[in-house]
Chains A and B, each alone.
Chain A
């Protein structure tokens, strides 16, 4: 008799605590569950699928046969495909660097300007991201073509120089910079906004000219924004399809084009999968490189 009473009272005491934790678990289950399911079913599984597929053998009869092989990766590792990957990386890197150089002054201006100016500027800045890449490539064809806007303008001005940059890597680069400048600028702008103007004034007051203040105060403090903008920029740049397809010609072909062709023209799914996995690897490598230099960046700070 006396033993049962403590049992009841202790369970009563535990009631509200258990109820709260149950609510916590149920609540977060219902809220986070759907998205987790979506991610698992439609992201993790498909990615795993192509991971596996990349090790299968191509077969003209059945599209693929479940025989494990490294042939796909070996094919990528030399000749045409290696050049392709190298070219893709190079274009991605150059586009990112150009975006950083062009985008920094832009980000600084936006971080410090008035609200009204910011509203207009942001609208112009996001448009390249929002409008489809197809349309922008079309616009560049009209501008850069042999009888395009640029050349007709030059002709009407009496200049004999003609632009002949279409269907080349350079055209792809130009279009990529236009496409990706917002991607670089927005995180950078955020980072600079977090730097109080007073800090720049302090640096100036201590004798630093605007250039020195930029190098020793602004740059170190905005580096995280620069890095995250650069990462996003690079990731998108190496995975574009439409832009090189329309503007790159033969020499401007990139990894994305090859993946598409192998998957939907040649129906060589294992090989397409391996190319896709290379892309995954490149993105991971970029992220890893960032993370590796991260902690050092924190402690180094700027030199006194």
Chain B
């Protein structure tokens, strides 16, 4: 499929130069319970990269993280950190930073003592401990709260303290297990931004586990989408969203119109397909489709309307069945023909096409905006 060139410039970040391997996981297998296996998993995280493990609950992302951290034994496979094999190393010797879902600050120590804990365990001299702890507290914006107990801090502050506690040891790798899921939405967005700034500034190799695709898309250089213990796809946020490798990935990330279809004919980069609901579509694909039965993906925000709809190959008249107003965007449930249903999403901008009240509209899909996936 001839893809739209991925936009360069401010949208796309360059990975830190050098691209040395920070963490390599090869063939990781963990038998969780009877019949439940995670793996074999293989992926590589570059030094300084922000890498997310994204997937629904139960997909094995937390298990993978715990294997890397050393709290679950590895049944097969290898884990290499900065060139050193660590899968048999006990957890207190792995030198990996770890932040849990709940901050897990030591309740019997002050914030400062919490941050200093790892340093003193490692035998740093007292003055050094105090200096590093103070620097780290300032970095995360908690200098004034050092003497407080964890239960006197808000959720967001506690999470920042937990982060400081791990980072102060300057580990080569930082692991985060859904660290914001216990915070409310606004705080989550704010913490996300702070984490992003911090990670980019420190160039810390980071693996981030989450079920929230927005977080993964916003933070990561690369994302691995997991399902049922296997990796479905690894790619940049743009690749994951725009060129999903499977139906699962397409469905999991963002909104998706997934239409089961059959290929009628393919010629010179254009495939003619007919969906089970009766729509005939032309889709651009570079190579011939591998199977005759497949799934077509159309992102709801890429469906054109009005005058723009007329100029593309796939043009239809659609009946508006339902409108959902979400403040900054509107979602339309459209009926095409007898049975075909499509979701259309429009950001509500100042200029209007008289959209909100329409009961019938002209819609169009550019052949380049259709992604063909195997069933």
Contact = CB atoms under 8 A, between A and B. Distances in A.
A and B directly contacting (CB within 8 A): yes
A202 B165 CA distance: 10
A14 to B, nearest CB: 42
Chain A interface, DSSP helix/strand/loop, else mixed: helix
Given A301-B113, A304-B117, A207 B169 contact: yes
B100 A198 contact: yes
Contacts of B112: 304
Given A205-B91, A206-B117, A207-B118, 6 more contacts: A205-B166, A206-B92, A207-B169, A208-B117, A208-B121, A212-B121
Interface string B85-122: 00000111111111010101011111011001110111
A199 interface: yes
A301 B92 contact: no
Contacts of A210: 92
Contacts of A216: 117, 121
A143 interface: no
B129 A205 contact: no
A205 B169 CA distance: 11
Interface of B: 69-71, 90-98, 100, 102, 104, 106-110, 112-113, 116-118, 120-122, 129, 165-166, 169
Contacts of B118: 206-207
Nearest to A221: B108
A203 to B, nearest CB: 7
Given A207-B122, A208-B92, A209-B92, A202 B104 contact: yes
B121 A207 contact: yes
Nearest to A298: B108
A300 to B, nearest CB: 9
Q: Which A-B residue pairs are the 8 nearest by beta carbons?
A: A304-B113, A206-B118, A301-B108, A204-B92, A207-B121, A304-B116, A205-B98, A208-B121
B290 to A, nearest CB: 45
A304 B117 CA distance: 6
29 contacts: A198-B100, A198-B104, A199-B104, A201-B91, A202-B100, A203-B106, A204-B70, A204-B91, A204-B92, A205-B92, A205-B96, A205-B98, A206-B92, A206-B117, A206-B118, A206-B165, A207-B118, A207-B122, A207-B169, A208-B92, A216-B117, A220-B108, A221-B107, A301-B108, A302-B109, A304-B109, A304-B113, A304-B117, A304-B120
Interface in A41-79: none
A205 B117 contact: no
Interface string A193-234: 000101101111111111011001100110000000000000
Given A301-B113, A304-B117, A217 B92 contact: no
Interface in A176-196: 196
B70 to A, nearest CB: 8
Interface in A89-104: none
Contact of B92 (A196, A207, A221): A207
Contacts of B117: 203, 206, 208, 216, 304
A209 B129 CA distance: 19
B106 A302 contact: yes
A302 B113 contact: yes
A202 B112 CA distance: 16
A301 B151 CA distance: 14
B166 A206 contact: yes
Nearest to B114: A304
A207 B165 CA distance: 12
B163 to A, nearest CB: 12
B277 to A, nearest CB: 49
Nearest to A204: B92
Given A204-B91, A205-B69, A205-B98, A301 B121 contact: no
A207 B98 CA distance: 11
A199 B92 contact: no
A212 B121 CA distance: 8
A117 B196 CA distance: 45
Nearest to A212: B121
A213 B117 CA distance: 11
B60 to A, nearest CB: 19
Nearest to B96: A205
B156 to A, nearest CB: 19
Contacts of B93: 207
A109 to B, nearest CB: 19
Most chain B C-beta atoms within 10 Å of own C-beta, residue among A216, A217, A304: A304
A217 B100 contact: no
Nearest to B116: A304
Contacts of A217: 106, 108
Given A205-B92, A207-B121, A208-B92, A199 B169 contact: no
Contacts of B113: 301-304
Contact of A199 (B71, B96, B106, B121): B106
A217 B117 CA distance: 10
Contact of A302 (B70, B95, B97, B108): B108
Contacts of A303: 113
A203 B96 CA distance: 12
Given A198-B102, A201-B91, A304-B129, A206 B121 contact: yes
B126 to A, nearest CB: 9
Contacts of B120: 304
Nearest to B175: A205
A304 B109 CA distance: 8
A303 B95 CA distance: 22
Contacts of A209: 92
B38 to A, nearest CB: 19
B316 to A, nearest CB: 54
A196 B107 CA distance: 11
A220 B120 CA distance: 17
A145 to B, nearest CB: 48
